[in-house]
Amino acid sequence: MTSTSTDSEEVERLIESPGLAGALESERFKTFLDHVPIAIAVSELRDPEIIVYANPEFERVSGLGVSALEQQSWDILEGEAVDEPNSLSLVTAILESSDRVGRFKMQGSDSPVIVDLHSNVIEDDAGTPTYRLVALVSAGPSELDPQSLEARVREKDTQLRELQHRVKNNLQMITALIRMETRNAAAADQTGYERLAGRVASLALLYDALALSEHEEEIDLGVYLSQIATAVMASHAVEGVRLDLRVDTYPVSINVAMPTGLVVNELLTNALKHAFRGREGGTITLHSVVDGNGCTVMVADDGVGLPAGETWPKRGRLGALIAESLKQNANAQLDVSSQPESGTTVTITFKRSAAAAPK
């Protein structure tokens, strides 16, 4: 729910409050309205109708001080309709309409702002119209104020990057805690802990890559996979095992990068732990190659191959769910081949149109 819709609901609840006409005569209630973050002004329905109260937020949005507003008619307000070519003027909308009556641009005390106008007549307990309550709910900075828009974009960008930085730091801390727990775990449990730590670490790398990207919705898959490979090789170093790494630049959406990175992390970890048992070493290959049709990611080893009757990923395991996510998010094709004593090769192929970030 947007902040504008939330503010509009607050206005509706205020207007529908029982005994509102009597409350508007109370100084205590006016003190309450002084601290409401919605621009509110009240007029008394007499001849002539005059404004008898305006809170500080109304002064800011209208660009008029309380001394200029109170005891004046609504004619003192200026605003230009922005949502409909034939909308009523701001003053006419206040006097002749009810509920949300339009969107207007007002000058404001800081800079031009766009507001949704609400205007309602408040009746006393006897049903006699007594007051008019007008609320201006901010709908954002004026489209004619590029400096304010640019400032808002910069602020949101800074907040997003701070959030990404915190998420990355939290993921790194979780990874460290899991690895600490691994050292204290029984041997049978250590493999599961290490896999979990590797998955969390790959997500931390993803957020790091996203924070450094010039485009918020996409990252370079080649760079990301090379970072994962470096991290996995460092965490599970096996003497005599070398990495054959080749990656091309390829921008993809985060929905493609995340499952691809998790799958590659899984395959590299499996290879380092199982592919070279009983051997002095070997080669793990990670290639991410781009052509006119899209990208092919290959993870292979020249090790002992999968045990007889075993496939990857195993059904019912998290690896299978990750692989399925990759197929769904990028329409990826996943091919697995393994030969005894010749190694295992997993190839992930997806088309450029499927992997591209949404526009």
Q: What is the domain-level CATH number for residue 304? A: 3.30.565.10
- SS3 sequence of 239-272: CCEEEEEEECCCEEEHHHHHHHHHHHHHHHHHHH
The number of domains in the chain is 3
Per-residue pLDDT tens over the stretch 314-333: 876 767 777 887 887 778 89
**141 neighbors 148 (Cβ within 8 angstroms):** yes
Whether residues 17 and 123 fall in one domain: yes
- What residue numbers bound the domain in which 46 lies? 3-143
Whether residues 63 and 151 fall in one domain: no
Whether residues 93 and 7 fall in one domain: yes
Q: CA-CA distance, 262 to 200, in Å (whole number)? A: 9
- Of 128, 80, 87, 135, the residue nearest 104 (C-alpha): 80
Q: Which long-range contacts (CB under 8 A, 24 or more apart) does 77-84 make?
A: 77/106, 78/106, 78/107, 79/104, 79/105, 79/106, 79/115, 79/117, 80/104, 80/105, 82/114, 82/143
Q: Final residue of a domain: which of 88, 117, 143? A: 143
30/63: higher pLDDT: 63
Q: CA-CA distance, 235 to 202, in Å (whole number)? A: 12
Q: Which long-range contacts (CB under 8 A, 24 or more apart) does 11-14 make?
A: 11/38, 11/118, 11/135, 11/137, 14/40, 14/133, 14/135
Q: Range with the lowest mean pLDDT among 15-29, 119-133, 235-249?
A: 15-29
271/314: higher pLDDT: 271
Q: Final residue of a domain: which of 187, 212, 237? A: 212
Confidence of residue 295 (pLDDT cuts 50, 70, 90): very high
Sheet holding 282-291, edge to edge: 241-247, 282-291, 294-301, 343-351, 333-339
Neighbours of 311 (CB within 10 A): 11
> What predicted TM-score, i.e. pTM, was given to this entire model?
0.48
Per-residue pLDDT tens over the stretch 33-55: 787 778 888 888 888 889 988 88
Per-residue pLDDT tens over the stretch 154-199: 665 665 556 555 555 555 555 555 555 556 556 555 565 566 666 6
Whether residues 125 and 28 fall in one domain: yes
Position 274 pLDDT exceeds 70: yes
pLDDT in the model for residue 256: 84
Whether residues 312 and 222 fall in one domain: yes
Whether residues 206 and 139 fall in one domain: no
Whether residues 149 and 138 fall in one domain: no
Whether residues 31 and 129 fall in one domain: yes
Q: CA-CA distance, 164 to 348, in Å (whole number)? A: 28
Sign of torsion over alpha carbons 202, 208, 211, 215: negative
Whether residues 229 and 356 fall in one domain: yes
Confidence of residue 142 (pLDDT cuts 50, 70, 90): very low
Sign of torsion over alpha carbons 94, 98, 99, 101: negative
**275 neighbors 204 (Cβ within 8 angstroms):** no
CATH of the domain at 128: 3.30.450.20
Whether residues 222 and 348 fall in one domain: yes
Whether residues 139 and 107 fall in one domain: yes
Whether residues 244 and 298 fall in one domain: yes
Q: Final residue of a domain: which of 192, 212, 232? A: 212
Write the Ramachandran bin of 130: left for phi over 0, alpha for psi from -120 to 50, otherwise beta: alpha
- Mean pLDDT score of the chain: 76
Exposed / middle / buried, residue 290 (Cβ in 10 Å: 0-12, 13-18, 19+): middle
